[in-house]
Structure 1
Amino acid sequence: MAPLFIFIGMIFEKHLILTNHIEKNVYRFILGCISNFILSLILIPTYEIMGAVIAVLTSHFITNIAFILIDSKSRKQLKFLFLK
């Protein structure tokens, strides 16, 4: 699953750069860092290495998939690109 999340994130990042929405890319990475930090604080003390794995995968999902679902303008642009 992780390679899929990362691949989608890379494509979305290139899309944001090409459409001159670099500030959204910054927000995406801030969201990923904050979610990874909070999840790590919660999960690592209890689950140790598996908690770290879960935190990283979840933050990748939030950064690369959930942000697309949250940002309606980018979602509409991507839908238009894929329907061509």
Structure 2
Amino acid sequence: MISYKVISGDTLSEIAQCNSTTVDQIMMINPEIKDKNLIYAGQTINIPSESVRLQAFKAKETTKQSSQNEMESSSLP
């Protein structure tokens, strides 16, 4: 995990893009951020490292596969 100090004019989407992550992943590891459009200059936020992003991706894929399996089994006679 990387710590980042917000500077004036920063947005979460720009920070996410510059760090090859997503706003959702940043918010997931920074529960104190309640509004993705409201961060402050001087605020320190955590940026997920590659391992955190990989875990989030795997969790998303597992959820997606589970949903597909449920849909397939519910359509059986």
TM range (shorter): 0.3 to 0.5
Q: Which has the higher contact order (CA 8 A, sep 6+)?
A: 2
Which protein is richer in helix relative to its size? Answer: 1
Which protein is richer in strand relative to its size? Answer: 2
The TM-score, its normalising length taken from structure 1, stands at: 0.33
